[in-house]
Structure 1
């Protein structure tokens, strides 16, 4: 695996992502020298951008927009070292029923690439069939979903199991991003490939 400065990382999201869970990894990883692309489904609220959700801005909770670099059907796992799946409730709820997203996430896991999901993002891992037999964490409200999918749920800021990195909430972002950097740099974490 490459040093972070040579790494290519894909963030997959759509409208309604938890604002910090996309912007902090995006800005931090780019700040460390990684090439980071944002990919979204074809249909979004506004062409070429996705809009975040920021519950601190009530009553208008829609937050910042982020430029979309690629459409989901234009990206493939072979071109990247890691995929990041931000949470929020709206974003992963839409993505977990998008077959192109699920196929892409499975491809990353199948190729032994880093797969990172935070907050409600593990819903996507559940739908992609990647939770069974793994140690994971998530936002507490989806703990039962994660456990019902066959994962061992842990109440920790970051949990890693064979290249799958999960965290609970925006409070865990520092540990989440640090673990993504570590996992990208260190190939010696055993066989990450998922059959």
Structure 2
């Protein structure tokens, strides 16, 4: 069974974590919501409370097939402050292992210098730190090899389908998208 870790930092965009988690789980992926906050209860943006499945210090981030970084300004700040996550993002990008990020999340990758010679998207206006040529204007979900990025809350389900496609293939992703009435 394929596995995915969705990282949660206080202030994350709830739909950008829960939407992809739902899509991935429907596709047979074992999803673990991982808190970087030292407690399982994580307060998302808009005051939404979410209970993570595990704490960052209790899991091996390298053991997951996919690592997902949701957005939300404060959430991204909290995720970027997690040394274990930063180290894992560097390792995954160096080894071409699956990384997915949405909204302001890709700014972490840009700040780490991990978007050089890559194509990616983010929430409009957050691309200022992207290297020249990386930002793909007018694209909602961008897949570049091992990297899946998306623009924001409204693209969370399409982002989830792209993540599922990267993990489980076209047939599984297309089936889940059809069952969820996600337009293609």
d(CA) in 1 for partners of 2:19, 2:10: 16
What is aligned with 1:53? 45
The answer for unaligned runs of 5 or more in structure 2 is 170-184
Q: Which residue pairs with 1:192 in the alignment?
A: none
Q: Deviations over 1:13-65 (max 9, x none)?
A: 2110111101111122112221100112243xxx32111113xxxxxxx12x2
Aligned to 2:9, the other structure's residue is in SS state coil
Corresponding position: 1:28 with 2:12: no
Q: 8 Å contact 2:123–2:151 — kept in the other structure?
A: yes
Is this contact kept in 1: 2:6–2:31, CA < 8 A?
yes
Pick the aligned partner of 1:175 from 158, 161, 165.
158
Match of 1:116 among 87, 95, 100: 100
- Choose from 1, 6, 16 the match for 1:11: 6
- Using the size of structure 1 for normalisation, the TM-score is 0.79
Flag the structure with higher helix content.
2
C-alpha distance in 2 between matches for 1:21 and 1:91: 11
* 1:96 corresponds to: 80
Q: Which SS does the other structure have where 1:15 is aligned?
A: coil
Q: How many pairs are equivalent?
A: 168
Write out per-residue CA displacement over residues 42-91 of structure 1, whole angstroms, 9 at most, x where no aligned residue. 43xxx32111113xxxxxxx12x222222222333442110111101110
Distance 2:96 2:118 in 1: 15
Task: Please state how far the C-alpha of 1:151 moved relative to its aligned partner.
Answer: 5.2
Pick from 148, 152, 171: which aligns with 2:134? 152
Stretches of structure 1 lacking an aligned partner (at least 5 in a row): 1-5, 55-61, 187-195
State how far apart, in whole Å, the 1-side matches of 2:126 and 2:37 are.
Answer: 27
Counterparts of 2:133 and 2:147, CA distance in 1 = 12
TM-score (norm 2): 0.83
What CA RMSD, in Å, does the superposition of the two structures yield over aligned residues? Answer: 1.7
Cα distance, 1:41–1:151 mapped onto 2, change above 3 Å: farther
CA distance in 2: counterparts of 1:130 and 1:162, whole angstroms: 13
Looking at structure 1, the residues matched to 51 and 95 of structure 2 have their Cα atoms a distance apart, in angstroms, of 27
Is the contact between residue 96 and residue 127 of structure 1 (CA under 8 Å) also seen in structure 2?
A: no
Which of residues 66, 84, 98 is equivalent to 2:68?
A: 84
Deviation at 1:176, TM superposition (A): 0.9
